Structure 1
Amino acid sequence: MSKKRVFFIGLMLFSLFFGAGNLIFPPLLGLESGSNFTPAMTGFLVTGVLLPFVAVLAVVTVDGGMISIGSRVHKVFGIVFAIIIYLSIGAFYAIPRAANVAFELGFQPYFTNEAGWPLILFTVLFFAVAYYICLNPKKLVDRVGQLLTPILLVALTILFVRAFFLLENVASPVTEKYTASPFVTGFIEGYFTMDAVAALAFGIVVINAFKDSGVKTKREQIKGSVLAGIIAVVGLAAVYICLGWIGAVMPQAEQFANGAEILTAASFLLFGNTGSLLFSVIVILACFTTCVGLINASASFFHGLYSKVSYKTYVRVLTLVGFVISSLGLSAILDIAVPILVLIYPIAIVLIILSLFTPLIGKGKAMYRISVVLTLFYAIYDVLTNLGFKLDGFAQVIGFVPFFDLGLGWIAPAFVGAVVGYAIDRYTTNHKETQASEKK
């Protein structure tokens, strides 16, 4: 495996992660954290970059990927959970969301007085090109890693260099949420990117990329995946820091509601009307490459699960479903998908972390089952409150755990469950060994 090929696979992985959400989160963090930017961004990088990197490694280092990891809880759970992951971050959510965000931020501003047809035209072209690229997965690295990602990086670099020379390095005022614990707040903001779930899907894309490049042994695939992952996360960290810095030093002449408004204003401030075009290129490419990766990952997964249906058929179905759902509009997509993501994301993180420490703690059933069940309990509570159910009385009973008010109440129970489960697994194993030795 040549270093050049590993490099381009790393660029491909970077662009798969770097969607519209990743583009607009950091500038808002920079704006709101002000002089506390460094600890806030450090916290963001832990959950927004390091955790997805760990998730990719968790998938590529395990035979059977995500299904195998989930099967440590139960075989049926492993299959069902993997299917839910791929459907929720694929055709039912992230794929149509990518198309909608690309349209609303990168295309719609040029057709403000038109109704209906711009969205149809854009989504038809968007999904047609995505479909064409995904039909040949062996060309994915060439088309995404070697062509589209460099264009995206050049556009971002132009924005960053111009901003560095023209914007004054005077940090914005620190908002209340970043005053007391900027690192923790940044940590939570990175958590809400939910990239660790996408990483579980993208692991299969990375492995397939190395297989298609002629890498046969598992050891070499893992080694290549680690190197490609490092390239991707270094790129992500650098881009996040630059985007966050732009938010921190933007002039405060107007109020910004989100990161998209910050970058739109920054692009216009730095380049005038040409800046709008630059921002459109960045948004559309960021959304498009993520969409391509998700279609490819989902089609590869379902083809591996049920190979009687061809990979190309899965690509057609996923592309068509994504196109149809994208017509519902971004708000409707978020209303449907957010509760599902709130449910599965904590479980995904628990499985990732337990899998990472497998060489030290093993694969004990009790450890996985107890920690996942306790996590699921708190995740269900978060989903119900997210749907508008009033559970104040119930919250008083279970809300004693740390980080409960932040929507992270599952962390402590998951840790305790893993410790208790590990102790049970060790006792069970020792007891069986003792009985076996006595029989001898």
Structure 2
Amino acid sequence: MNKTKEIWIAGFALFSLFFGAGNLLLPPLLGYNAGNNWFWVTIGFMITAVVIPIIGIMAHAKLQGTLYDFGKKVSPTFSLIYCVIVYIISIAIPSPRTASATHEIAIHPIFGTSPLLTSCVYFALVLVFVLNRSKILNLIGKYLTPFIVIILVLVIGIGLFSSDMIMNPSKFTTPIVDGILEGYQTFDAIGAVVVGGVVIISLNLKGLNSFDEKKELIKKAGIIAGSGLFIIYAGLIAVGAFYGSEVFVDGSLSNDMQRANLLRGISKSTLGNIGNVFLSTLIALACFTTAVGIITGTADYFKGLFKDSQKAYISTAIVGCLIGILVGQMDFHSIIVIALPVLMFIYPITIVLILLNILPDKYASKSVFRTVVLVTFIFSIPDFLGFIIPRENLMGIKNMIPLANQSLGWVIPAIITFIGLNLKKFR
């Protein structure tokens, strides 16, 4: 196959593997609530939803291993535990969330079917794709992603040029921080360390064995996917902000219903009555490709853990789909509520591992990995606990840690630790 074509297919596949339920539903409401501060919210959102994930893909290009390689400099035991936690989280939260979003927005309003039926059909199709492992990049990159991109471009393009651009006042006091934290909800950083491995194994299965060729292809594919995510996210946030005065969002509804109603309103305003049909198709495709990427990445890992056992791959794929069916019957909002404390625990560690792995080895020795990860873990505990116990019980601790009240208490300690350990090397 032509090299340029291969890069574009991989880039499109990466974009599609990233772009799921949260990626579509979160940005418009974020822009709607940001109002005239939509630009600053966009900056924050891009940090955790685009920049960090694409750096994660670049780190995969450098390592060309599995998720295990991201944490092995801390210790083999840590890396094993980290991998298992990430994959359990992936198949228990973001994967079922894609089925829940598909049911609530694309299936139930049209057919009125039960969430159980939707989840069963949905994950049966996911399993078919996952079991056709060697064809995943081509199937997603050549056929599914173009439909997603075309519909998104239509909604955003028409929306930006037809809106009166009358924005509501911002509901955020710290828009950049609110954007950063909302970016957590996309799961894109975790997605990067999971689906990056999927791309590498797919390239190996296609017979591309040269380390340098794979490195170049993955980097360029990452840039294509990152550019696509940047444009789509910025467009969706802007459209959400510009339609602030045209689409009514009932604040008494749950956040997931607000997100769904806003997206429906924007689609109808831009594409007319056929807008909801396009929206349903878009959500179903975007969610489906993400679920395929998550289940495949998890199955790949456990296959490697059991000495390249195909039985382990098939068993993991089946278990992942069964969990998806069970959890996918919950509503979208309930899954997000469950996800928040989990994200506050695992996301900071994932971000730190991504950033350390992309750095030259002289700045990221084993001792640097171990100490920075440990400090990140310790200082993210108050953020994690803040979603489990009453926040007022933690105010004494949070007031002593910079940015802790913004749920980013781990950032400055991790930076100071990293600089302190590398001080002599910077001179």
Same fold (TM > 0.5) = yes
- 2:37 equivalent to 1:25: no
Deviation string for 1:60-79 (max 9, x for gaps)?
Answer: 31154321221211210011
- 2:258 equivalent to 1:263: no
Deviation string for 1:117-166 (max 9, x for gaps)?
Answer: 53222222211111111111111112111111111112212222332443
Structure 2 residues not aligned, in runs of 5+? 252-257
User: Which residue is equivalent to 1:120?
Assistant: 116
Distance 1:245 1:338, change over 3 A: closer
**Aligned residues: CA RMSD:** 2.3
What is the Cα deviation at residue 261 of structure 1?
A: 2.1
One-letter amino acid matched to 1:279: L
- 2:167 equivalent to 1:196: no
One-letter amino acid matched to 2:228: G
One-letter amino acid matched to 2:209: K
1:340-379 equivalence runs, <5 A: 340-365=342-367, 367-379=368-380
How many residue pairs were aligned? 415
**Structure 2 counterpart SS, 1:242:** helix
Alignment partners' CA distance in 1, 2:278 and 2:391? 45
User: Which residue is equivalent to 1:230?
Assistant: 223
1:272-283 equivalence runs, <5 A: 272-283=272-283
Distance 1:161 1:387, change over 3 A: same
**Structure 2 counterpart SS, 1:73:** coil
What is the Cα deviation at residue 184 of structure 1?
A: 4.1
- 2:168 equivalent to 1:173: yes
Counterpart contact for 2:137–2:199, Cα < 8 Å: no
Alignment partners' CA distance in 2, 1:133 and 1:66? 22
User: Which stretch shifts more, 182-191 or 193-202?
Assistant: 182-191
User: Which residue is equivalent to 2:329?
Assistant: 327
Q: Identify which of 316, 319, 322 aligns with 1:317.
A: 319
What is the Cα deviation at residue 416 of structure 1?
A: 2.2
Alignment partners' CA distance in 2, 1:192 and 1:328? 17
User: Which residue is equivalent to 1:56?
Assistant: 57
Q: Percent identity?
A: 31
Deviation string for 1:67-118 (max 9, x for gaps)?
Answer: 12212112100111011111101x211111111111111111124xx5xx53
User: Which residue is equivalent to 2:254?
Assistant: none
What is the Cα deviation at residue 31 of structure 1?
A: 1.9
Q: Identify which of 136, 150, 157 aligns with 2:146.
A: 150
Distance 1:398 1:269, change over 3 A: closer
Alignment partners' CA distance in 2, 1:184 and 1:222? 33
What is the Cα deviation at residue 325 of structure 1?
A: 2.5
User: Which residue is equivalent to 1:130?
Assistant: 126
Alignment partners' CA distance in 1, 2:407 and 2:347? 12
Alignment partners' CA distance in 2, 1:236 and 1:401? 33
TM-score between both structures, scaled by the size of structure 1? 0.88
User: Which residue is equivalent to 1:140?
Assistant: 136
Distance 1:317 1:28, change over 3 A: same
One-letter amino acid matched to 1:356: I
Alignment partners' CA distance in 2, 1:351 and 1:251? 38
Alignment partners' CA distance in 2, 1:333 and 1:190? 16
What is the Cα deviation at residue 37 of structure 1?
A: 2.7
Alignment partners' CA distance in 1, 2:261 and 2:149? 21
TM-score between both structures, scaled by the size of structure 2? 0.90
Structure 1 residues not aligned, in runs of 5+? 427-440
Deviation string for 1:158-195 (max 9, x for gaps)?
Answer: 22233244322x240331415xx544443343344331
Alignment partners' CA distance in 2, 1:134 and 1:364? 35
Deviation string for 1:418-438 (max 9, x for gaps)?
Answer: 2344469x8xxxxxxxxxxxx
One-letter amino acid matched to 2:150: V
User: Which residue is equivalent to 1:34?
Assistant: 35
Alignment partners' CA distance in 2, 1:380 and 1:134? 36
User: Which residue is equivalent to 1:415?
Assistant: 415
Deviation string for 1:320-361 (max 9, x for gaps)?
Answer: 222122234445544444322221111111111111223450
Counterpart contact for 1:29–1:244, Cα < 8 Å: yes
Counterpart contact for 2:53–2:189, Cα < 8 Å: yes
One-letter amino acid matched to 2:380: A
Distance 1:331 1:44, change over 3 A: closer
What is the Cα deviation at residue 398 of structure 1?
A: 4.9
One-letter amino acid matched to 2:238: W
Counterpart contact for 1:92–1:337, Cα < 8 Å: no
Distance 1:249 1:63, change over 3 A: closer
User: Which residue is equivalent to 1:212?
Assistant: 205
Counterpart contact for 2:166–2:245, Cα < 8 Å: no
Counterpart contact for 2:35–2:244, Cα < 8 Å: no
One-letter amino acid matched to 1:350: V
User: Which stretch shifts more, 22-31 or 144-153?
Assistant: 22-31
What is the Cα deviation at residue 8 of structure 1?
A: 0.8
Counterpart contact for 1:130–1:291, Cα < 8 Å: yes
Deviation string for 1:42-61 (max 9, x for gaps)?
Answer: 33222211110001222331
Alignment partners' CA distance in 2, 1:388 and 1:24? 28
User: Which residue is equivalent to 2:385?
Assistant: 384
What is the Cα deviation at residue 25 of structure 1?
A: 2.0
What is the Cα deviation at residue 389 of structure 1?
A: 4.4
Distance 1:298 1:130, change over 3 A: same
User: Which stretch shifts more, 415-424 or 34-43?
Assistant: 415-424
What is the Cα deviation at residue 201 of structure 1?
A: 0.4
Counterpart contact for 2:302–2:312, Cα < 8 Å: no
User: Which stretch shifts more, 62-71 or 370-379?
Assistant: 62-71
Distance 1:263 1:126, change over 3 A: same
User: Which residue is equivalent to 1:400?
Assistant: 400
Counterpart contact for 1:364–1:421, Cα < 8 Å: no
